[in-house]
Structure 1
Amino acid sequence: MASSFISVSLLFIGLHTAGGFMGFMTDRCDFNSTDLKDIEFIRSYYYNKLEFTRFSSSVGKYVGFTEYGVKNAEYWNSDPSKLAAMNAQKETVCEHNIKIDYDNVLTKSAEPYVFLSSVTPPGGKHSSMLVCSVFDFFPKNIVVRWTRDGHPETAGVTSTDELADGDWYYQTHSHLEYTPRSGEKISCVVEHISLSKPLVTDWDPSMPESERNKIAIGASGLILGLTLSLAGFIYYKRKARGRILVPSN
């Protein structure tokens, strides 16, 4: 799986306010691997959310974006020792922290779990719609596809983006609109870096989910009714044993 371009903010310093104005500075490392050549150290200076000066290790010097920023860049670039110290940040700050990120987070993965369900399709164009919901996977990149009798099924397929749960995990949902055929086998296939082989979940069309729910509710009601009837019968028998029959004249 191709590595993605990642930006990590390592520092947030120099924040101050005065008379309603705000200036701050950020350090960040942009990278797509742990190799030093794939890492860029960037220090940015802002005033009221406007970046006015930036140092980039890829450029090797300061660059100004406003009149004030250009003057700052010229002054700082005139100091060789300052430039040497800034260029060293790529190795001393970025490389060290990026290796920690890869060891503890970026090389870890979490296997997804799949829930397959049927819903009523909107508009009535198709008689059925299946939803393949994939939860709790990491990292983000994932492939969700459909097969019908072992062959790829692409018609009537719509999918959401990978949605962040806010706890490092992701979820995604794929919808398949189709017209059922007797004896067919429809499957949702998930491919992810955490899986040694594709995760295949087959749809069982023997009974719609709504019908299964109705049967479950009916069975629960029947069991409850029989339990109450049995309890009433036992109560009646106990009361009958306790009564004394008085013969009438």
Structure 2
Amino acid sequence: NGEGDPKPEPEGLGVGTILCPALTAVFQFLGKFECYFTNGTEKVRYVHRYLYNREQLAMFDSDVGVYVGFNPLGEKWARCWNSDPEFMERKRAEVDIVCRHNYRLYAPFSVERRVPPSVSISLVPSSSQPGPGRLLCSVLDFYPAPIQVRWFQGQQELSEHVVATEVVPNGDWSYQLLVLLETPPRRGLTYSCQVEHGSLEHPLKMPPDAARSKMLTGIGGFVLGSLFLALGLGFYLRKKVRGGSPWETFLS
């Protein structure tokens, strides 16, 4: 081979990296395999890239069927590989050997994996706004990540004053999402949280009765707490005027 001619590809699959340490720099040669799937394995595209220091030199694309170079060296490699019929036949077969084969191995616990979310509604206090609190819809432990969560007041969707976190990975192949209704719940109205996810045949709606019960419980607790606070403060002020311990009057 002349200077700059490509050597035959090494056997095996994966990503190869060659690091050449020097006093002032690191040089990296990278081979990168990519598989793109449409409707399972109905349509598969296989791409093999060669990069040097983040610059792409040459690429094989199964949709094109030949190598393409992106600079003088990559073009020289592409001409060399494309001129070898036996080598190119093996290369075109890698769309099945690499992509379709690995899809069958990994799809059951990746692409096809479905875990339904756990959904709950809670009343959380607000430090910045008055009122009994805010309704929070917690959507936990679902897979895959794409999901849609919406708040309803009765049958009407509440598209405003809704704040959501990003879909957060738990680190165990599951995700979580929190969606807060910023406006305080109004007594006598029904609120529900609706979740749409690939693991669900139909949208999952947190039962309105449960949401209403949680809301009324929270409001009731807030009102009772305020009432006891007012009563205690009244006893304290009255006793302070008369003298003596306020607890003696409260407990008597």
Common fold: TM-score over 0.5: yes
Task: Pick the aligned partner of 1:150 from 150, 155, 170.
Answer: 155
Q: Equivalent residue of 2:152, what SS?
A: strand
* Residues 1:41 and 2:46 aligned together: yes
CA distance in 2, matches of 1:61, 1:174: 49
Deviation, 1:151, is: 2.5
Change (3 A) 1:45 1:120: same
Deviation, 1:209, is: 8.3
- 5+ long unaligned stretches in structure 1: 1-9, 216-249
Task: Pick the aligned partner of 2:59 from 40, 54, 67.
Answer: 54
The one-letter amino acid of 1:62's match is Y
Q: Is the 8 A contact 2:132 2:218 kept in 1?
A: no
Q: Is the 8 A contact 2:123 2:215 kept in 1?
A: no
Q: Is the 8 A contact 2:135 2:185 kept in 1?
A: no
Deviation, 1:133, is: 1.3
Q: Equivalent residue of 2:217, what SS?
A: coil
Q: Is the 8 A contact 1:11 1:26 kept in 2?
A: no
Task: Pick the aligned partner of 2:192 from 164, 187, 191.
Answer: 187
Does 125-134 or 90-99 show the bigger shift?
A: 125-134
CA distance in 1, matches of 2:19, 2:146: 41
Where does residue 106 of structure 1 map in the other structure?
A: 111
Q: Is the 8 A contact 1:30 1:39 kept in 2?
A: yes
Where does residue 206 of structure 1 map in the other structure?
A: 216
Q: Equivalent residue of 2:182, what SS?
A: strand
The one-letter amino acid of 2:28's match is M
Q: Equivalent residue of 1:106, what SS?
A: coil
Change (3 A) 1:11 1:176: farther
Q: Is the 8 A contact 1:15 1:24 kept in 2?
A: yes
Where does residue 31 of structure 2 map in the other structure?
A: 25
The one-letter amino acid of 1:187's match is S
Q: Equivalent residue of 2:89, what SS?
A: helix
The one-letter amino acid of 1:206's match is L
* Residues 1:15 and 2:17 aligned together: yes
CA distance in 1, matches of 2:114, 2:147: 12
Q: Is the 8 A contact 1:145 1:189 kept in 2?
A: yes
The one-letter amino acid of 2:18's match is H
CA distance in 2, matches of 1:151, 1:13: 52
Where does residue 66 of structure 1 map in the other structure?
A: 71
CA distance in 1, matches of 2:193, 2:94: 47
Deviation, 1:144, is: 0.8
Q: Equivalent residue of 1:12, what SS?
A: coil
Does 122-131 or 110-119 show the bigger shift?
A: 122-131
Deviations 1:52-84, CA, capped at 9 Å, x for gaps? 111110111111122211211122112222221
- 5+ long unaligned stretches in structure 2: 1-11, 226-252
Deviation, 1:186, is: 0.7
Deviation, 1:168, is: 1.2
Deviation, 1:40, is: 0.9
The one-letter amino acid of 2:41's match is D
Deviation, 1:32, is: 2.7
Q: Equivalent residue of 1:124, what SS?
A: coil
**TM-score calculated relative to the size of structure 2:** 0.71
Task: Pick the aligned partner of 1:129 from 129, 134, 138.
Answer: 134
CA distance in 2, matches of 1:51, 1:116: 50
Q: Is the 8 A contact 1:127 1:178 kept in 2?
A: no
Q: What is the root-mean-square deviation of aligned Cα atoms in Å?
A: 2.7
Identity across the alignment (%): 32
Task: Pick the aligned partner of 1:176 from 139, 159, 181.
Answer: 181
- Number of aligned residue pairs: 204
Q: Is the 8 A contact 1:34 1:95 kept in 2?
A: no
Q: Is the 8 A contact 2:148 2:195 kept in 1?
A: yes
